[in-house]
Structure 1
């Protein structure tokens, strides 16, 4: 089963995307529908809202007047927090019931407007954000939903910023143009990513990948790594003593293979995290249970997990905190971030070797000689600067 969080600002067109995903076979849970269900006449939810905001939020037939509630609840932070405290637990409980009814091989899409605001992005294997410029959204709210312009702008202002949404977005869908454009993007997302991702998660496997090529530095690599780290931290819980973005993609300005390397530090290496990490989308990669130091000394033990997302290559290295391999993985990137000459030297080496080898092992072995002397230089830098992991 794959869990997808679908969100975006009011008026962005989430419903259009959710509808298309449902047509493809996604199991869609609409949080807005759930929110209406838990405050229907006669429910405890509605009674608590009335107690908090008064009888003025009720329509003549005793149902909730959502516009009246919004005119009160969206005017200040305190009122909005009071509303959320009433609604979120009830919506969460009902949502869990609906998801429990989904088939084992389902792509579960939760259409959740406040995904960013309530901080649940790490719960999902993938977060999809639908976006459109503010003026486009205001126009839609006024002309399609009948809201007053001031009300539309107030609701938009009360929601998460674009910056906050981009921070959690694995997929960003621009819905500012004709509907057929975003629908085509959804079709591609479904076929190329979601269906394959679901099978990988369910079967605890990853999509076979060819040798990645060297690419120019991507300024979004750190943000992508942070999303991975958030999911790993949730999955590993207290067993994760520390999680770091390591490897070449953690060094700003350094050309690298488009692979995110993350190190998860544990107290002792065992199989206790195999299942939690696999459920989170990071199955174990058998056979990769040690690092061979570049100087040929005694291997450093580890466990390796890989990302199940077919379009995002991730390696997760589990190592004992304080071990030589753990320290080395943190030291080299730190040194390269601090030493411009060393970084340029390493990049030139990578470029010289990238076209000579088709496989990652061969490419890695060709760098061994450089790393032997680089390790010594890095340790000297650490001693001189006082760097510690």
Structure 2
């Protein structure tokens, strides 16, 4: 089951996206609908709201007087929090029931207006944000909903900012043109990413990769993307001690393949094996045949370099997940190599030259295997001595397991 969190600011167009996804076959769980059900006549939720805010929030027929309730909390964040503490648990419990009742192979879309505000972004395989500029949203609110300009701005200001939503987003659907354009974007998202992602989850395989070692300029978004994905992985199981962004995409300014590398730290490989199924369900199935790092220094026990390797089932964002034991040689190397490149521009320059040489040599390949093997001699003969000297000179030590790089 693929779980999608859908959100967006008021008047951004989220409802249109939700209805289209439902038409395409998604199971839609709408938090607004559940919130209305939570305070339906005769419900425990309505009784709790009336007890807290008084009989003045009820109409003569016993239903909720929504304008009166809105007036009771307007401009008072503490009262809004009290209301949320009543409604949100009821909505989340009902949402859990509906998700659990969905078919195993379904794409479940949870439409949650306050997804970011309530900190739920790490609970989904993907977060989709529907976005539009503030001036466009104000125009929609005033012309289509009859709000005053002041009220429209107040409603927008009471929600998360566009920047906050975008930071939580794996996908941003920009709705500043026509409804037809937005619906076309939804269709592409469904066909090119959501359906293949769900199929990979059901089959327990990573997303297909058929391109060779193409280096791209460093992206300022890589660390944010890595942190967003790492936040999901950390919730998989308490045996996940840390998740660190490693590899070239963790080094500012360094060109790299557009593949994020994350290191998941466990206390023992048995823990890594025990959570493999949970990682697969979270979108990171194991990759057969990759269980060992290439030792960087002479080591009489090659077992020290054993790891587990998973990769992302999402076709829209390639991710490698290296599961290593805390304190193992491979674990230390990944962290120290990253920190060396971050702190020494000359080292990063040397590595870039080798990456470019190997990428050119294997430009016609359909995999990155040859590219990776090409760099091994450089690591052994050039990087290892320099890295060892840097560690000795700086006294580098890995951070505690709870640290996130």
TM superposition score category, shorter chain reference: over 0.9
What is the aligned partner in structure 2 of residue 278 from structure 1? 280
SS in structure 1 of the partner of residue 361 of structure 2: coil
**Cα distance in structure 2, aligned partners of 1:382 and 1:38:** 58
Does the aligned pair in 2 maintain the 1:295–1:368 contact within 8 Å? no
How does 1:181-260 map onto structure 2 within 5 Å?
A: 181-210=181-210, 211-236=212-237, 238-260=238-260
Measure how far apart 1:28 and its partner are: 0.7
Distance 2:69 2:374 in 1: 66
TM-score, structure 1 length as denominator?
A: 0.96
Partner of 1:336: 341
Which residue pairs with 1:319 in the alignment?
A: 324
Aligned to 2:393: 384
1:143/1:68 Cα in 2 relative to 1: closer, same or farther (>3 Å)?
A: farther
Range with greater deviation from structure 2 (366-375 or 259-268):
366-375
Report SS of the residue matched to 1:35. helix
Query: Secondary structure, in 3 states, of the residue corresponding to 1:319?
Result: strand
| 1:51 corresponding residue in structure 2 | 51
Structure 2 residue ranges without an equivalent (≥5): 399-405
Q: Secondary structure at the match of 1:256?
A: coil
User: Which consecutive residues of structure 1, in runs of 5 or more, have no partner in the other structure?
Assistant: none
Query: How far does residue 143 in structure 1 lie from its aligned partner after superposition?
Result: 2.8
2:374 and 2:58 mapped to 1: Cα distance? 72
Change (3 A) 1:43 1:178: same
Instruction: Assess, with a 3 A threshold, how the Cα gap between structure 1 residues 161 and 49 changes in structure 2: closer, same or farther.
Output: same
2:290 corresponds to which residue? 288
User: How many angstroms apart in 1 are the aligned matches of 2:203 and 2:357?
Assistant: 38
SS in 2 for 1:341: helix
Pairs within 5 Å for 1:292-303 = 292-294=294-296, 297=299, 298=302, 300-303=305-308
In the other structure, the counterpart of 2:10 is 10
Distance between the aligned counterparts of 1:10 and 1:243, measured in 2?
Answer: 34
Q: Over residues 176-200 of structure 1, what are the superposed CA-to-partner deviations in whole Å (9 max), with x where a residue is unaligned?
A: 2111111111010000000011111
Deviation per CA, 1:319-362: give whole Å up to 9, x if none: 00000000000011100010011111211211122121123221
* Distance 1:42-1:146 versus aligned 2 partners, 3 A rule: farther
* Alpha-carbon separation, structure 1, partners of 2:360 and 2:22: 44
RMSD: 1.4
- Cα contact 1:74–1:155 (8 A) shared by 2: no
1:167 aligns with 2:176: no
Contact residue 132 and residue 176 of structure 1 kept, 8 A: yes
Q: How far apart, CA to CA, are the structure 1 residues paired with 2:360 and 2:106?
A: 41
Counterpart for residue 157 of structure 1: 157
**TM-score if structure 2 supplies the norm length?**
0.93
Q: Structure 1's 52 and 212: CA in aligned 2 closer, same or farther, altered over 3 A?
A: farther
Provide the aligned length of Structure 1 versus Structure 2. 388
CA–CA distance in 2 between the matches of 1:336 and 1:169? 29
Q: Give the superposition deviation at 1:295.
A: 5.1
- Measured in 1, the distance between the counterparts of 2:314 and 2:256 equals 20
SS in 1 for 2:265: strand
Is 1:31 aligned with 2:31? yes
Which stretch of structure 1 is more off in the superposition, 166-175 or 156-165? 156-165
Indicate conservation of the 8 Å contact 1:332/1:375, yes or no.
Answer: no
